[in-house]
Amino acid sequence: MPVSDSPSTSRRLLALLSLLQARRDWPAPVLAHRLDVSERTIRRDIDRLRELDYSIEATRGPDGGYRLQAGSQLPPLVFDEEQAVAIALTLRAAGSLGIDIEEAAARALGTVTRLLPSRLVHRVGNLEAADAAGRRTAQVDPDVLLRIGEAITAGEELRFDYASPSSSGAEEPVRRTEPHHLLLHSGRWYLIGYTTEREDWRVYRADRIRPRSHNGRRFTPRTVPGGDPARFLSARFMGSTGADTWACWGEATLDLPLAAVVPYLGDGSAEAVGPDRSRVRLGAWSWGALAAEFLRFEAELSAVEPADLRAAFAAVAERSARAARGARPLGP
């Protein structure tokens, strides 16, 4: 095997490390072939990496090989260009993850960016303006997410204080729930848990959770209604306790051509009932909200169904009339 064609020791060590990171087990003959060196050279290189605190286990078997394991500390890592770009893009989007890690992410991004080739730095940097204009969300302490995740994995009841927006400032009782799923939705983290006191499923915003120092009893995992945690959470935001759909649906005929309606339907539907009229079906979390959805279209409405939606239009009309007069509703 031509030693003169072998890469330098440093370059070869980096190439070897990259291969070890890519898969669990590497037979020694395969590594030697990939790096165009002898198996003896591979053994020496493995020893050099071990001296640099990489935990590499020798595997037994017909081929004999090596496996990179987790060590007591994080050693230097090697990434190819695609991996480095993916890491940089993910770090740049850290602010949209709803976790309070932006400072650490910025430092990590600076480290990665300094090592990228100039042609890749420009590609990653082009996203900065768009990211700076992104929506800000409530940030979660990463330790809180880790605590919740540990409770889910261990199957232990989570005990926590909850900063509910409806609280009057008085001390509230410690909450308890069986934590089942932790999901990211629209830039915020949510915990789906089963509360035995109410014998019902509850959804909690993770940024309002302050875990107590000790968890509660162990529990047997349950299946979230419908079997899909993401669809269950989406349904709750739609005001539904069942399927992943709006709690209220209604129809009305609008004095607008179909082309003027279609761009604003969202998950609704419409069909033309004339050159300048459309039959529109929309959904919302409440009848009042559904009436407001239809009123987004500045057009006359007719043939409104069902009766609950007609009643909601009447209530909205009364409130609108009072607002126009500057009057307040009667009552205590």
Predicted confidence band at 134 (pLDDT cuts at 50, 70, 90)? very low
Identify the weakest region by mean pLDDT among 41-55, 135-149, 200-214: 135-149
DSSP structure string for 184-253: EETTEEEEEEEETTTTEEEEEEGGGEEE-SS---B----PPTTS-HHHHHHHHHTT-SSSSS-SEEEEEE
Identify the weakest region by mean pLDDT among 26-35, 126-135, 270-279: 126-135
Res 277 pLDDT > 90: yes
Domains belonging to the chain, first-starting first, are 3-69 (1.10.10.10), 81-132 (no CATH), 142-164+173-237 (2.30.30), 248-325 (3.30.70)
pLDDT value, residue 69: 81
Closest CA to 99 of 128, 67, 136, 134: 136
pLDDT one-digit tens code per residue, 64-96: 788 888 765 566 666 776 777 777 767 766 665
Residues 301 and 47: their CA atoms lie apart, in Å, by: 79
Q: How high is the mean pLDDT of the chain?
A: 80
Res 169 pLDDT > 90: no
